[in-house]
Amino acid sequence: MTAKARGRWLFVGVASVSAVALLAGFQAAPDERPPLSDAAVSGAPQAPPVRLPVSVMDAASVYVVYVDRAAGISPAFTDGASIQTSLRSAEAYESKQMQRGIAAYAAIVALQEPTFVASVRQFGVDPTQRAQVAAALIADPRYAESFTGADRAAGLIVAALTEQGQRVLDTGKKVKQEAYDVQHQQWSKGFVPDRDGRLALAKSLSETPLTPDADAEARMVQASTGATPLLVSGGPDSGPYTSLVDRALAVAAIAALGAGSEDNNEQINAVLTDPDEDVCLHDAKLNLYQCLAVAKPHYEDVFCMGQHILMDTGSCIIKGVTPRPVAPPVLIAAADTKPEPVKKAKGGHRRKHSVHS
């Protein structure tokens, strides 16, 4: 069954209004629907304002702040203290909150697509119809694929989150490489003090939700309403879509309908939440704990940070928006958690051993 057929079938099951009349709107070309600005000028009835609950803005702001912070970590470590500072910054996210944040930000990205928003908003004018369409989206987020412009909105989501995930992944690769390069500096071979405390802190930071950033939250609000659009770009994506993309499209559609009020906060956050996607981020944290549990010299902490937080987290972000295989974190054996130290080979030359990761 195609995405449009699936959406039509679901609508018939949920809505009590004429399916023929509603689905004719889905099939109409974009230029057959007057832009919203024209409706405003003519005085025609409009859907309520585009909006999302505060909790969605909070989650999105936490995500975008983390991406900027993690991608900005410098691999130029000068001592053990600088390593621990960066490690704390990289590991400080709670996986469930981060998963919701990724989906929330993706929904705001979808709202940057004007054809998609206009296509949805025509069904938000009548209160009964608005409630029925919102119920259909909550029942099955894939229903959002039926709206004109959904492929363009999906393309924006895939492009934006792939770019962000790649930024974090690339930073992780640089940090992981530094785990080898820094071994030429004698201080990096010293043992990390209070290793047990360092591991306990990593677990504590991973279980503590982050406080939303006020400035980032304001940017998300402005972007969701179109007052200050996000600078995102990407071509149409015809699918198939991952669960994250479908759920983000559904939440964006609910917002465009004018049904994204605080009264619907619980249902909207339920759409944003997917336990299966949380697994990837959760496993990244498990790998980090295992790595830190056996790491002793400073350079081994650099490896743990680069591989099991930055690289694994970046891969999880990318994996969430593309059905193409992206290597997820794989639970590892303790013997494979760290780079081997630089050793002196016969003849006085120095060499590096390969790393199993």
User: Which of these, 350, 345, 341, lies nearest to 188 by C-alpha position?
Assistant: 341
Please give the sequence-ordered ranges of beta strands (E in DSSP) within the chain, or none if there are none: 343-344, 350-351
- What is the token pair recorded at 66? 């983390």
* Phi-psi map region of 314: left, alpha, beta (phi>0 left; psi -120 to 50 alpha): alpha
Query: What is the phi/psi pair of residue 109, to 5°?
Result: -60, -45
Q: Is the pLDDT of residue 12 over 50?
A: no
Q: Which residue in the block uniquely carries the two structure tokens 């099991």?
A: 308
Q: Which residues contact 16 (CB under 8 A, 6 or more apart)?
A: 132
The pLDDT of residue 289 is 97
Q: What pLDDT score was predicted for residue 331?
A: 56
Angle in degrees, CA 241, 97, 284, rounded to 5: 75
Please write the tens of the pLDDT for every residue from 97-119.
999 999 999 999 999 999 999 99
- pLDDT value at residue 343: 54
Who's near 142: CB < 8 A, 6+ residues apart?
3, 6, 7, 10, 246, 250
Q: For residues 110 and 195, what is the distance between their CA atoms, to the nearest angstrom?
A: 44
Residues 121-175 have pLDDT tens digits of 999 999 999 999 999 999 999 999 999 999 999 999 999 999 999 999 999 999 9
* 310 CB neighbour count, 10 Å cutoff: 28
pLDDT tens for residues 317-347?
Answer: 999 998 865 555 555 544 455 556 555 444 4
Percent of the chain exceeding pLDDT 90 equals: 74
Dihedral angle, C-alpha 124, 15, 259, 252, nearest 10 °: -90
Confidence of residue 29 (pLDDT cuts 50, 70, 90): very low
- Tokens at 217, concatenated: 């939250």
What angle in degrees, to the nearest 10, is found between the helix axes of 298-305 and 150-181? 170
d(CA 68, CA 256): 28
| Segment 209-239, tens digit of pLDDT | 999 999 999 999 999 998 999 999 999 999 8
pLDDT of residue 191: 97
pLDDT of residue 1: 45
Are the C-beta atoms of 37 and 43 separated by less than 8 Å? no
For residue 35, what pLDDT band results from cuts at 50, 70 and 90? Answer: very low
pLDDT at 276: 76
> Is it the case that residue 356 has pLDDT exceeding 90?
no
> 39-52, pLDDT tens digit by residue?
444 567 888 999 99
Q: Which residues pair with 350 in a beta bridge?
A: 344
Interatomic CA distance for residues 250 and 19, integer angstroms: 19
The string of pLDDT tens digits covering residues 233-283 is 999 999 899 999 999 999 999 999 999 999 999 999 999 998 777 899 999
Residue 33: is its pLDDT beyond 50? no
C-alpha distance from residue 330 to each of 1, 280, 290, 291 (Å)? 34, 9, 12, 13
Q: Which residue bears the tokens 């785990």? A: 179
